[in-house]
Structure 1
Amino acid sequence: MVSSPSRRAFTLVELLVVIAIIGVLVGLLLPAIQQAREAARRSQCASNMRQLGFALHNYIEAFNVLPPSSVVTYQGGAPVFGGWSIHARLMPYLDGVQHYDRINFDHSYDHASNTTASAVLIGLFGCPSDPKSSQKTTHFGVELGGVNYGWTMGDWYVFGGVNPSTMLSQKPRSAFFPNSSVRLAGMIDGSSKTMVAGEVLMQQKYNRDCGGLSSVTDPASIPTTNADPSTIGEYSSGCTLKTSGHTEWVDGHVHQTGMTTAWPPNFVTVDGSDNDVDLSGSREKDGEPTFAGVNARSYHPGGVHVLLGDGAVKFVGDSIDGTVWRGIGTIAGNEITNGF
C-alpha cells in the first residue's frame, strides 16, 4: 500500500507573521493613497479658481471694471442692500447663463422669484477637499448653495458705509468692495502681485453685529497680524455667533462670498467661547462702516490657493509673513512682498 504524502499547513506563528506583514503594507499604502487623492482634489481646486479668473477677466472685458462686491444705497433715510454677489455677476462667463437668466436682480436672493436660482449648488464654487462642499443649507426657508472661494474684500477695513452721519470717505484698499468700480489699471501694485480671491471654508462660524463703531472708527488703524480677537474693541461684546459663513453663493456680504487679509491663512481666531470664528462687526447691508476678519482657510495641508489679478493661481503656505499677506491683498499699497 502506497502512503499518501503528508500535507503541510501554516502554523499559527506563520499565519500571524503574514497578517503582520499585510498590516504593515496596508499601513504604508493608505497614506500614499490618501496623498494621491488629496493631490487630485488640490489640482481640481486650483482648476476651479482658474475658471473664476477667466470669468473675471471676461467680465472686465465686457464692463471695463471689476464687479462690486455688492450694491448698497441710501434711500428715504435707510440703507437699501442690493446684495447680489460677485459670483452671481460672473455666472454668464462660467457657462452658467441658464442660472443667470433665472435671477431677478430687482429683488433679493431670498425673494420668491429667486429661490430657484439661489438653491442651485454650483460645482465650480466648491473645493472637493472640503467635506461640506456638496451640502446645501437653509436660511429662512430658502435653500442655498455655498462657496469655497472668497473674493478679497479688504484687509480689515471693508466698507465706508452709506449713512451720511457715519460714512467714511476712505475707500477700502482691496480689489472688491460695495459700490466699487475698480479698473484693472487700478492695481498699481501689479496684477501678478495682487490677490483677488482665496480659499474659504463652507459653514464657517462667525461673529457679527458686534456694536459697529463703538470702538473702531479709523480705517488706518489695523490690528497686528497676530492680534488676539478678544482684545479688539469692536468685538468685545454683543456679538451674535452664526454657523453659516460662506453658505450663500448669491450673497455679497464679506462673510458669505468674501475674505479679508486681517490675519494669515488658517490663523486660528478664538473668541471667548473657544470658537475658531470669523468676525464681521457690522454687515454691509446696515449701511454702516464695516470692519472684518474673514480668514482664508482650507483643508489642504499647509496653506490655501489664491487667485491673482493676472489670472494665475498660487498655493500660499500658512507660514507666510502677515505683513506680506496683507500686502498682496491691497491694490495700490506699494508694499514690499518679497518672498511671495
Structure 2
Amino acid sequence: MRTRLSRSRRGFTLIELLVVIAIIAILIGLLLPAVQKVREAASRAKCTNNLKQLGIALHSYADTNNGLPPAQIDNSGSAYSTPLSGNFGPNWAILILPYIEQTALFNQVSTSVTNQLQGSTSDQGWRAVGSYTIPTYICPSDSYNSVSCSQNTGGTASGFWARGNYAANEGPTGDGAINGTSTQANLSLSGLGPIWITTRAPYRCWTIQQIPDGSSTTILTGEIRAGLLATDVRGVWALGQAGSSAVGQYALGDDLLPNNTNSNADDIQGCTDNPTQGMGCYSAGNASNQAVFRSLHTGGVNVGMGDGSVRFLSNSISLQSFYQLGSGNDGQPLPSDAN
C-alpha cells in the first residue's frame, strides 16, 4: 500500500502580516485626503446651489412685492437690532418661504406675518416656524447646524430655534437702518447693503434694479456658521438678528475679513468667544449688531450676488474689495481682486 505524504501548508509569518497591514494603512492614508476633497467638493456644490435657489427666491419676492424683504424687522424703533428678548419681527428667511417650496409651512403663520408687516407688532405667532429645519438653509459642511439653538428669546414658541447657514447682507456699515418710509433718503450711505434692517412699515427695501452699484457687483446673501454651543444664536435661520440670519458692520473694527480668527470679532448677545475655531465673539452688549460671513469651506466663503450668481470669496480678499462688494452704493469701481 502506498502512503500519501502530507504536505505542510505554509502560512503568513508575523513579519509578512505586518507588512501587508502597513501597505493597507499607507493606501488608506493616500486615499483619505482624496475622499475628503471629493466630499468637500460635493458639499460646496450643494451650498452653491442653495445660494442660487435663495437668489431666485429673493428675485421672485422682489418682483411680487416691489422690493426685497427686510433682513430683520426691529419693532423697537432703534437703528440696530434689539436684544434677544426684544420686540422683533419675522425676517427675510421667513418671508421668502413661499418662494422656496415651503408654502405650507409659511401658511401656518401667515396671519401673524401679515399682522407684523401691517404694523401690528404684538402678534408673535410667526415664531412657531422657527423650530423647523429647512434643507435649503443648511450647508452640509457645517456639522454644528444639527443642534438647535436653545437660547431663550421670549415670546411665543421661543427657546428652540433651528439652525441655518445663510445670511442677508446688511452692508459693512452700521448705518443701514430705515427709520422712515423713504428708501431714497438712505442712498448716500456708502456702506449700505441691498437688504436692510427696517424699523416700521412699510417694510420694503430696494428692488434688484435699484441697487445703485449694480446687482452683479453687490453681495445679496452669504454663508454664516452655526454657533458651537446650543446657547450661541449664530446660524439660526428664522431669527432676525446679526449673526443669526444677517451680517453687517463688517470690514471694520475687529470683524474685518471673512472667517477672521480675531477674538471678540462678532458682537452677538449671549455668544461664546471661540477665536481658535474661527468663531470669535463679544457678548457683553445687550444687542446683536455685528457679524461677518463665515463658513467651514477651505479658504473662504460662498456669497450670492444680486444678479443671482454665486462667488467664492477668499479669506485673503483685500479689505477694500470686501467692503465694496458688501456695499450696495459706494459708487466706486471694484479693485482688480474683486472681479
Which residue number corresponds to residue 268 of structure 1?
261
Which residue number corresponds to residue 233 of structure 2?
244
Which residue number corresponds to residue 336 of structure 2?
338
| Equivalent residue for 1:142, pick from 128, 152, 159 | 159
| Equivalent residue for 1:53, pick from 52, 55, 80 | 55
How far has the Cα of 1:192 moved from its partner?
Answer: 1.0
Work out the percentage of aligned pairs sharing the same amino acid: 30
Which residue number corresponds to residue 256 of structure 1?
244
Unaligned runs of at least 5 residues, structure 2: 153-157, 199-203, 266-271
Which residue number corresponds to residue 174 of structure 2?
157
Contact 2:46 2:140 in 1 (8 A): yes
Classify 1:275/1:16 alpha carbon distance in 2 versus 1 (closer, same or farther; 3 Å). Answer: closer
Contact 1:110 1:142 in 2 (8 A): no
| Equivalent residue for 2:195, pick from 163, 171, 176 | 176
How far has the Cα of 1:38 moved from its partner?
Answer: 1.2
CA distance in 2, matches of 1:129, 1:266: 14
AA in 2 matched with 1:303: G
Classify 1:7/1:254 alpha carbon distance in 2 versus 1 (closer, same or farther; 3 Å). Answer: same
AA in 1 matched with 2:290: G
Which residue number corresponds to residue 223 of structure 2?
199
Which residue number corresponds to residue 89 of structure 1?
95
Contact 1:204 1:244 in 2 (8 A): no
AA in 2 matched with 1:266: N
| Equivalent residue for 1:118, pick from 122, 130, 145 | 130
Classify 1:274/1:124 alpha carbon distance in 2 versus 1 (closer, same or farther; 3 Å). Answer: closer
RCO comparison, higher one (Cα < 8 Å, 6+): 1
CA distance in 2, matches of 1:133, 1:243: 11
Which residue number corresponds to residue 143 of structure 2?
131
Q: Structure 1 stretch 195-204 or stretch 105-114: which is displaced more?
A: 105-114
List per-residue Cα deviations over 1:8-54 (Å, max 9, x = no partner).
Answer: 21122211111110110111112211211111111111111111001
Partner of 2:233: helix, strand, or coil? strand
AA in 2 matched with 1:173: L
Q: Structure 1 stretch 154-163 or stretch 82-91: which is displaced more?
A: 154-163
| Equivalent residue for 2:306, pick from 292, 304, 309 | 309
CA distance in 1, matches of 2:258, 2:293: 5
AA in 1 matched with 2:263: V
| Equivalent residue for 1:66, pick from 65, 68, 72 | 68
AA in 1 matched with 2:6: S
Structural mapping, 1:8-47, within 5 Å: 8-47=10-49
Classify 1:176/1:46 alpha carbon distance in 2 versus 1 (closer, same or farther; 3 Å). Answer: same
Classify 1:197/1:312 alpha carbon distance in 2 versus 1 (closer, same or farther; 3 Å). Answer: same
Contact 2:75 2:121 in 1 (8 A): no
How far has the Cα of 1:308 moved from its partner?
Answer: 0.3
Q: TM-score, normalised by structure 2?
A: 0.76
CA distance in 2, matches of 1:72, 1:137: 21
Contact 1:151 1:198 in 2 (8 A): yes
Classify 1:193/1:128 alpha carbon distance in 2 versus 1 (closer, same or farther; 3 Å). Answer: same
How far has the Cα of 1:142 moved from its partner?
Answer: 3.2
List per-residue Cα deviations over 1:81-121 (Å, max 9, x = no partner).
Answer: 44211101111101011111112123699977345322111
How far has the Cα of 1:275 moved from its partner?
Answer: 3.7
CA distance in 2, matches of 1:278, 1:258: 15
CA distance in 2, matches of 1:325, 1:146: 26
Q: TM-score, normalised by structure 1?
A: 0.76
CA distance in 2, matches of 1:111, 1:29: 55
Q: Which has the higher strand share?
A: 1
Matched, 1:294 2:291: yes
- TM-align CA RMSD: 3.0
Classify 1:258/1:297 alpha carbon distance in 2 versus 1 (closer, same or farther; 3 Å). Answer: same
